Amino acid sequence: MEEQDKLSELRNAICARLGEYRAKHVLSTEEEAAKLAAVYLPEKTEKVRISALLHDITKEYDAKRQLQIFSEFGIIVDNVMLASPKVFHAKTAALLIPREFPEYADPEIVSAVYKHTTGCADMSVMDMLIYLADYIEPTRKFADCQVLRSYFWDGLAKTQTEPEKLLHLYRTMVLSFDLTIKNLMEEQSVIAPDTIAARNAFVLKCKNISEEGK
C-alpha cells in the first residue's frame, strides 16, 4: 500500500474510535506536527504524522479503564501518578499500540506517544515535536496555548541557523513546562516527576548551548 493510503487508512481508523471534538484535535495535531517536522525532522515526517495520529487513542477512556490497562500490563501506579489521572492516557496509549496497531509499534513512535503529556528528561526531537504539536495546534484556544504558539512560531521566524533553531525549540520546551507547572501549582495539584525532570533537562541544555557560544 502507498504511504499516503496507509496514512489515510490510519486516520480513518483513529477518527472512527474518537468523538468529534477529539478527532478534530488529533487531525490538527497531525498537521501541526507535520509543520514542525518540515523544520526539524523532514526525513521522519511520516513517523511524526503517525505518532500524532496515535497520541490520544485512549484519551476518552475513563480513569477506571485506564487503571485496568495498567493492571493488565503489570504496571504499578504510585500515589503521585494516581493523583494525576490526566497523564494516564499517554502511558496507556503507548501500552496499547503494539496490540491494537502492531504495524506502528515502532520504538520512536511509542516513545513520542508515551512522553507527550508529562515530557521526560530524555526526549528525542521527535518526542519534542509531538509534545509541542499537541500543545500548540490551532484548535487549542486557552491562554497558555496561545502564548506558547506565538512564542514558538514568532521566535522561529527570527532564527537562521540549525543550532539557533534547535536552541529555540529547547527554550520553547522550557516555557511549556513552566506554564504547565505554574498551572498545576495554582491548582495545588501534584506535578509528575517526569515534568520536573524534563524542565530541568531543557534548562540545562539551553544553559550549556549559551555558554558554548560565549
A 10 A CB-CB count for 51 gives: 29
Nearer to Fe ion, 127 or 134 (CB): 134
In angstroms, the CA 94 to CA 66 distance is 12
Q: Please report whether residue 127 would count as binding Fe ion according to CB under 5 A.
A: no
* Shortest Å distance, C-beta 14 to Fe ion: 12
Determine which residue in the list 56, 127, 137, 194 makes contact with Fe ion, applying CB under 5 A: 56
By beta-carbon distance, which residue lies closest to Fe ion?
134
Applying the rule CB under 5 A, the residues between 156 and 195 that interact with Fe ion are none
Nearer to Fe ion, 33 or 69 (CB): 33
Q: Which of 137, 111, 106 is nearest to 124 (CA)?
A: 111
In angstroms, the CA 197 to CA 118 distance is 10
Distances in whole angstroms, Cα of residue 74 to Cα of each of 67, 69, 79, 82, 92: 10, 9, 16, 15, 12
Nearer to Fe ion, 126 or 167 (CB): 126
Q: Please report whether residue 134 would count as binding Fe ion according to CB under 5 A.
A: yes
All cell numbers assigned to 142? 486557552
| Of 56-64, 92-100, 178-186, 192-200: span binding Fe ion (CB under 5 A) | 56-64
Q: Which residues bind Fe ion (CB under 5 A)?
A: 56, 134
